[in-house]
Amino acid sequence: MQEHIQLNQKEINDISLSPILETPKWWLPAVLITFGFIVTGLAAFFYMVYHGLGVTGLNRPVFWGFFIVNFVFWIGISHAGIMISAILRLTQAEWRRPITRAAEVLTVFSLMAALHTPLFHVGRPWRTYWVFPYDFSRGVWPNVRSPFVWDPSAVGTYLIASTLFVIICLLPDLAIIRDRTTGLRSKIYGILCLGWRGTPRQWKMQTIVGILLSALVLPVFVSVHSIVSWDFAVIAGVEGWHSTIFAPYFIIGAIHSGVSAVATFMVVMMWVWKGNDKILRPDHLDAIGRLLIIVATTWFLFLFLEVAFALFTLERPEIALRELQFFKWPFSGLFILFLLTSYFIPVPMWMFKNVRRSLPLMFISTILVNVGMWLERFLIIVPSLSRKTPFAFDWGSYTPSIVEILIVTETFAFVIFGLLLFSKFFPLIPLFDIKEGMVFRDEIKIGRRTVPASIRE
Amino acid sequence: MNPHVITAKSTLDKKSKINNTLLERHQRNGNYFWRIISLLAVFFILGIIGFVMKLNSGFNDKVIWGYYAAMFAFILTTAQAAPMVAIAPRLAKAHWRRPISRTAEIWSIVGLFNLILFIPILWVLPSLEDRRRSLWFWDAAPGFESVPVFSPHIWTTLALCSLVFIGIMLLWLSALPDLALIRDKGTGWQQKVAKKLSKNWIGTSKQWHWLYHRLGILGALYFAMMVFVHFLISIDFLLVLVPGWIDALLPITHAANALQAGVATMMLTMFCLRKFGGYKDYIGYDQVWGLGKLLFALSLLWFWFWFSSFNVFWYGKKPNELSVIDLLTTGPYLIIFIGVFLLNFVFPLFMMIWNPIRRSFWGPPLIAVGVIIGTFLDRIRLYVAAYSVPGIGDPNVSKHALPTHSLPTHLPEISDVFIMLGYISGSILVFMLATKIIPVINIWEQREVVMYEIHKKFHRTEVKILGKPD
Amino acid sequence: MANPSWGMVIDNDKCTGCNACVIACQSENNIPINEEDHFTQRRPIQWIRIERYWEGEFPNVKARFIPVLCQHCADAPCEPVCPVYATYHNDQGLNVQVYNRCIGTRFCANGCPYQVRHFNFWEPEWPDSLENQLNPDVTVRTRGIMEKCTFCVQRIQRTKRESEKNNTSIKDGDRQLNPACVNGCATDALVFGDFNNPESKVSKMKKKELGHGGHGDHSDHDGHEEHDEKRGYHLLEEYGTHPSVVYLKKVDYESKTVEKH
């Protein structure tokens, strides 16, 4: 089934390096458009800083809104890279090879997007650095009991680790670009590739560092989203948040949305860069689709448990909350949309092999998943706050303002902008990884069948 | 023509050698086999005595059945989870599973034993009558009147029965080709049994396709059913017994602990088979390595779940949640609590990241013993504590919060010790007897790997190439 | 002498819902005027608020009032979640908010089950006529930070300073000490004082109405309440916050039932 197109090394080089050595026509307009969105978003942000958070739709009791939803969403997307790269690398799944780089880069940029969202969220962004344990003159350490102190350290560690991961995996490819360019560019790539010559010792180190980083980044990966979930779950005062299941529920949801985002990105890569469809095959989409069925179903199980245990005691505040979340317009509509888009449309679609191997259908279904997962975070955060206390007097609601929407758009534009820039200067397809896979790949003939095989189990 | 394709050499010689040696080994009686069996039987009889002693006090007071329930849960989390070691790697097409997949599946027959012993605690399980909280949402709420008050009994029994049934079907299916082999080449009573069990398996390609397909489906079903049973058991036997214990993660933690303990059980079984069973040529580093990695990963997973629950309870500081933490972690339970943490997480973590131990034959099984003991202690901590809470019907206990005064802790009586001994030895006894009927090493899977394995020169070294069929 | 533990007893039976406490608080603590816009945006800043609930069907409708202010909980859920220690518990039983440290994450506001924490969504503004009315003892809060009831800490501190200067002890029920809302209450529904002083009025009321000196933990949430003399309770006890404010139940003489929120 794994019908690979047998490419020789030169063809792989040509395909993967073409976006760098020759700029596609659409690249500059795309960059400019996303940059325009970024500028608009930042303008909205400064408008908000100047006037105060009153320009958002936030109120009492819904103190957290679009920004936190968006923060959780991007943290979720960032789990894609490590899921694909680290877990699949450690379990030696061969199909991961062509998409590892894309997944890691998506991780890095979505983490950056997530990390600057709290700046939008807080009341005094110019003081946000106070959550870091830096300033001894102030005489106050950050409060280590607060999940908002765990957050920056976990997310920061994750960003550093995944950036390192990308750089380590880039080194051999940078050396190739160094050898294929001339003049200043060659010099710059020469500096960036840290003197990579491809000696056996360098290869060995690169492999070991790769495996070590994947193993070490895994606990970070788990801790990041657990901590994000504890931003909510530790609050006993909010009925909808105080659930022990939140940490694993958020993680599996993050993997669901992250892997879907990688699939979306893969399809886009196959569409917009010519030649990529020779390396990224429907096989890979197929494998991702099958992985997604398992992930999505596990996620759905956690969702079920979360709701079941919330209703377990049939307490009145909890019932009031769930009534709002499931049955009151507009949340009811969003809830149905969320169920459909995150599970009931995509998963039955992925059951069919034809769908898993079709580019447009995979594109649509994975985009749907992320629409659903964005809504999931919204439905966790906003209705829970609207029905926060047993005091019916203080129930509230929330409508986002145009400023919030513009700022949220900025983060999406930022990620796309980052990916576009990256694709111009670095190969999005890991050359060395694919070549390594080719060397290890073998086939065994048993009777009349040919079975794919690989060196190392 | 693709230069990479290699044709497998004739492997017929090797295959028949595997057939003969494994068959011969299966039919031979070990020196100690019957002696161990009789020792276990003695312990099992002790267990029956303990059970009879308990019966004197009857089923009215659920408190005294805490240890029995803990033992039931212990076997559920170890023996009945062990088949996952065969199922998961088989679905992932990992070759290292081959020598141990059968051993893992034979553990599923212990489920039958556990199912029989489940019957007495059905009487202790409170029904939904006294407005008891339950997964089935019985609260005399409108729309739920039709829920029978014995829903927990019905559903738990049904789920447990299906789990056992699926497990035994899985074992039988996977054993079919081997039973046919015994039918054709074996001797004695084993051949007669095999003749009955093997039906008309002759190994046509149609039959093989059917077998692979069914094995996949049954494996997935077993996993799903196992998770479901753990959900039901942890809710009906733990959560609803303790007011204020609303832990949505506990069913998952329970199931994760089962996976961890199941792997540990297999690790230990495998070690015994290699050391005392004479299967040294078949069980090697690959298996210890593969299982060791699994055990390591699952220990981390268990810790993460455990900590997630604990953290949310501890941080939230709601009185009813703190009282649950109090119930489960004070008095003698504190020592167990710390012990479980050390045995199920700290030791596996810090020993297994040490490569010399991970590569040794004694290291991972040693840790597995720790994990099994840890799981055992954890079951006692949870179940005995939950069973010692007075029933919901008790006027002293409100629906949402535990009484603030500390509840009595129950140390095991002599009958409890007998029951624990008898329960465990009974399970091992059933397992060992089953290995006499069904070969403990999977002969056909072992034979199959010969086809997929090829040695090839690669630059200056010789490497092993393993085929992975789709 | 032991540190004081400031607290309050609120008698729901005496509350008429007149909102005088709200106004008194507003002027004492430099809280910007809540205009109609603030209410439609659901962003009024009221350190103390009167919650009004309607009970029964028309025409037999009864209005129930409950004044809610910061409960200065002993185990305040807002405290551990603040990343910058902007809110912490001081040695006088007060839950204090340090405006300068606050960066406005609004985490504390989510943690608070009583909804008494307020965020400055806008820069505070007063009409020109009120510019000279501002209290010089109280900081004007900038936009982007949290604020909440302080039990008029400026009054407590001033009284303490003066009593130290004059070598006198702090008098219980001193109008110089009492928070503005207590002074403003026409029916004496609000009583302020030191729970660590067994002679203070609040301590006596608490002892009489709550039955024991410690923080109450009733487990009778199921609705079967004991109809005895004791009317004391804490707001939302099931969250385990151990508040410093004791509420006394409303006694409904017509139906002879005791109302409890």
What is the dihedral sign for C-alpha C98, C103, C104, C106?
negative
pLDDT of res. B134 = 58
- Tally helices (H) and strands (E) across chain A: 18, 2
Confidence of residue B131 (pLDDT cuts 50, 70, 90): low
Interface test with B, best of C78, C212, C217, C219 (most B CBs within 10 A): C219
Confidence of residue A372 (pLDDT cuts 50, 70, 90): very high
Q: What is the CA radius of gyration of chain B?
A: 24
Q: Inform me whether the pLDDT recorded for C258 exceeds 60.
A: no
Q: Inform me whether the pLDDT recorded for C223 exceeds 50.
A: no
In a domain? residue A298: yes
**Cβ(A245)–Cβ(A232) under 8 Å?**
no
pLDDT of res. A456 = 63
pLDDT of res. A283 = 84
Confidence of residue A1 (pLDDT cuts 50, 70, 90): very low
pLDDT of res. C29 = 93
Span C216-223, average pLDDT: 42
Q: Inform me whether the pLDDT recorded for B136 exceeds 70.
A: no
pLDDT of res. B339 = 92
Q: What would the two tokens of residue B385 be?
A: 């504590």
Q: State the nearest Cα–Cα gap between A56 and chain C, in angstroms.
A: 9
Q: Inform me whether the pLDDT recorded for A96 exceeds 90.
A: no
Q: What would the two tokens of residue B418 be?
A: 């007998």
pLDDT of res. C219 = 41
- How many structural domains comprise chain A? 1
Supply the mean pLDDT for chain A.
Answer: 88
- How many structural domains comprise chain C? 1
Distances (CA, A) of B424 to B48, B226, B418: 12, 20, 10
Phi, psi of A452 (to 5 degrees): -65, 145
Given an 8 Å threshold on Cβ–Cβ distance, is B318 in contact with A309? no
Interface test with C, best of A49, A55, A60, A64 (most C CBs within 10 A): A60
Q: Inform me whether the pLDDT recorded for B148 exceeds 50.
A: yes
Burial of A167 (0-12, 13-18, 19+ CB in 10 A): middle
In a domain? residue A181: yes
Ranges of beta strands (E only) in B262-330 are none
Q: Inform me whether the pLDDT recorded for C117 exceeds 90.
A: yes
Q: What is the CA radius of gyration of chain C?
A: 19
In a domain? residue C173: yes
* Alpha-helical regions (H) of chain C: 20-28, 36-40, 78-81, 107-111, 153-166, 180-184, 201-210
Interface test with A, best of B1, B4, B231 (most A CBs within 10 A): B4
Select, from the ranges B354-368, C94-108, C167-181, the one with the highest average predicted confidence (pLDDT).
C94-108
What are the b/e assignments for B104-130, b being 16+ CB within 10 Å?
Answer: bbbbbbbbbbbbebbebbeebbbebee
CA distance B400 to B260: 32
Element (H, E) at C252: strand C250-252
**Could you report the per-residue pLDDT of B90-99, keeping only the tens digit for each?**
888 888 888 8
Residues 6 or more apart whose CB falls under 8 angstroms from that of A108 comprise A78, A81, A159, A162, A163, A166, A418
Given an 8 Å threshold on Cβ–Cβ distance, is C83 in contact with A142? yes
Distances (CA, A) of B326 to B252, B333, C38: 21, 10, 45
Given an 8 Å threshold on Cβ–Cβ distance, is C52 in contact with A393? yes
CA distance A157 to A221: 9
More confident residue, B62 or A121: A121
In a domain? residue A274: yes
| Candidates A146, A390, A391; nearest CB to C107 | A146
Q: Inform me whether the pLDDT recorded for B402 exceeds 80.
A: no
Burial of A182 (0-12, 13-18, 19+ CB in 10 A): exposed
pLDDT of res. A391 = 80
Neighbours of chain C (3+ CB pairs under 8 A): A, B
Does residue B131 belong to the interface with chain C, where contact is any CB pair within 8 Å? Answer: no
CA distance B362 to C6: 64
Q: Inform me whether the pLDDT recorded for B153 exceeds 90.
A: no
Q: Identify all chain C residues contacting B317, using CB atoms and an 8 Å cutoff.
A: 75, 77, 239-241
**Cβ(B236)–Cβ(B134) under 8 Å?**
yes
Which amino acid type is present at position C183? N
Q: How many CB pairs under 8 A join A and C?
A: 135
Q: What would the two tokens of residue C24 be?
A: 């008194």
Span C8-37, average pLDDT: 91
Confidence of residue A323 (pLDDT cuts 50, 70, 90): confident
- Closest Cα in chain C to A143: C83
pLDDT of res. A89 = 80
Does residue C228 belong to the interface with chain B, where contact is any CB pair within 8 Å? Answer: no
| Candidates C75, C220, C221; nearest CB to B317 | C75
Distances (CA, A) of B109 to A105, B171, B178, B369: 49, 8, 17, 21
Confidence of residue C229 (pLDDT cuts 50, 70, 90): low
**Cβ(B283)–Cβ(B25) under 8 Å?**
no
pLDDT of res. B422 = 94
- Give the CATH number, domain containing residue C115: 3.30.70.20
What is the DSSP code (8-state) at residue B343?
A: I
- Closest Cα in chain A to C113: A237
Strand-pairing partners, residue C68, are: C49
Neighbours of chain B (3+ CB pairs under 8 A): A, C
pLDDT of res. B3 = 44
pLDDT of res. B17 = 77
Given an 8 Å threshold on Cβ–Cβ distance, is C144 in contact with A130? no
> What number of CA atoms fall less than 13 Å from residue B295's CA on the CB side?
38
In a domain? residue C1: no
Complex-level ipTM beyond the 0.95 threshold = no
Q: Identify all chain C residues contacting A234, using CB atoms and an 8 Å cutoff.
A: 81
**Could you report the per-residue pLDDT of A182-235, keeping only the tens digit for each?**
889 889 999 998 989 989 999 999 989 988 888 888 888 899 999 999 999 999
More confident residue, B92 or C111: C111
**Could you report the per-residue pLDDT of A8-51, keeping only the tens digit for each?**
788 888 888 887 888 888 899 999 999 999 999 999 999 999 99
Q: What would the two tokens of residue B312 be?
A: 């949310």
Residue A332: domain span = 9-454
Q: Identify all chain B residues contacting C240, using CB atoms and an 8 Å cutoff.
A: 317-319, 322
- Pairing relationship of beta strands B5-7 and B453-458 according to DSSP bridges: unpaired
CA distance C105 to A119: 10
Q: What would the two tokens of residue B265 be?
A: 């059980």
User: What proportion of chain A, given as a percentage, has pLDDT over 90?
Assistant: 48
Q: What angle do CA A75, A81, A87 make, to 5 degrees?
A: 115
Q: What would the two tokens of residue B391 be?
A: 């029933």
**Could you report the per-residue pLDDT of C193-215, keeping only the tens digit for each?**
999 988 899 999 888 888 654 44
Q: Inform me whether the pLDDT recorded for B457 exceeds 90.
A: no
Span A153-178, average pLDDT: 91
In chain B, positions 99-158, which contact chain A (CB-CB < 8 Å)? 133, 135, 137, 139, 141
Given an 8 Å threshold on Cβ–Cβ distance, is B458 in contact with A222? no
Neighbours of chain A (3+ CB pairs under 8 A): B, C
Burial of A138 (0-12, 13-18, 19+ CB in 10 A): exposed
pLDDT of res. A453 = 77
Cis-peptide into A61, omega within 30 deg? yes
Q: State the nearest Cα–Cα gap between A68 and chain B, in angstroms.
A: 20
Does residue B464 belong to the interface with chain A, where contact is any CB pair within 8 Å? Answer: yes
Give the residue from B125, B462, B80 showing the smallest Cα distance to B254.
Answer: B80
Given an 8 Å threshold on Cβ–Cβ distance, is A445 in contact with B469? no
| Candidates C101, C104, C113; nearest CB to A237 | C113
CA distance A384 to A361: 34
Q: Inform me whether the pLDDT recorded for A6 exceeds 80.
A: no
Q: Identify all chain A residues contacting C113, using CB atoms and an 8 Å cutoff.
A: 236-237, 388-389
More confident residue, A274 or B130: A274
Confidence of residue B394 (pLDDT cuts 50, 70, 90): low
CA distance A365 to A61: 35
pTM over 0.80: yes
pLDDT of res. B147 = 66
Q: Inform me whether the pLDDT recorded for C1 exceeds 60.
A: no
CA distance A262 to A83: 10
* Placement of tokens 């993680």 in the chain: A251
Q: State the nearest Cα–Cα gap between A412 and chain C, in angstroms.
A: 23
CA distance B238 to B232: 10
Residue C216: domain span = 6-259
- Pairing relationship of beta strands C6-11 and C245-248 according to DSSP bridges: parallel
Q: State the nearest Cα–Cα gap between A310 and chain B, in angstroms.
A: 8
More confident residue, A277 or A165: A165
CA distance B84 to B90: 9
Q: What is the DSSP string of A354-398?
A: HHHT-HHHHHHHHHHHHHHHHHHHHHHHHHHHHT-SS-GGG----
CA distance A164 to A156: 12
Does residue C219 belong to the interface with chain B, where contact is any CB pair within 8 Å? Answer: yes
Q: Inform me whether the pLDDT recorded for A350 exceeds 80.
A: yes
**Could you report the per-residue pLDDT of B296-321, keeping only the tens digit for each?**
999 999 999 999 998 999 888 888 88
